[in-house]
C-alpha cells in the first residue's frame, strides 16, 4: 500500500479540501485500497518527506523536494486537475 501525503501551509484548510477530492477520485477509480492518506502541514513534513511514496502540496515547497511533490493547486482551481490526477495515478501504479 502506497503512502500519500497531502500537505498545505497549516495542515487544516486547503489540505482538507484536497484530501476530500483525492478520496473521491480514488473511490471513483477503484484505487482506494492501494493508498493510505496522511494530511499535515509542510513544516512538520520536510524532515520526513521521503517516508511517503506520493506527496501532494498546495503550498510552495523548497527546491530540494520539488521533484518529489505534485502540485495540488489544480484541485482548488479546477485547472489542470486531470493532468494532476494522472501523475498521482502513475505513482500509485508504479
CATH-assigned architecture of domain 2-93: 3-Layer(aba) Sandwich (3.40)
Alpha carbons 88 and 54: distance in angstroms, whole number: 7
Mean pLDDT of the chain: 96
Q: Rounded to the nearest 5°, which phi and psi values hold at 35?
A: -135, 140
- Contact at 8 Å (CB) between 59 and 12? no
Residue boundaries of the structural domains of the chain:
2-93
Among the listed residues 3, 43, 37, the one whose alpha carbon sits nearest the alpha carbon of residue 20: 37
Segment 34-80, tens digit of pLDDT:
999 999 999 999 999 999 999 999 999 999 999 999 999 999 999 99
CA 37, 90, 49, 63 dihedral sign is: negative
Amino acid at each position: 500500500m502506497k503512502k500519500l501525503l497531502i500537505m498545505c501551509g497549516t495542515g487544516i484548510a486547503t489540505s482538507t479540501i484536497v484530501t476530500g477530492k483525492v478520496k473521491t477520485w480514488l473511490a471513483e477509480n477503484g484505487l482506494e485500497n492501494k493508498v493510505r492518506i496522511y494530511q499535515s502541514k509542510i513544516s512538520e513534513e520536510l524532515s520526513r518527506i521521503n517516508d511517503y511514496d506520493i506527496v501532494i502540496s498546495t503550498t510552495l515547497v523548497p527546491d530540494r523536494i520539488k521533484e518529489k511533490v505534485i502540485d495540488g493547486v489544480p484541485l482548488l482551481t479546477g485547472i489542470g486537475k486531470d493532468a494532476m490526477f494522472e501523475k498521482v495515478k502513475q505513482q500509485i501504479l508504479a
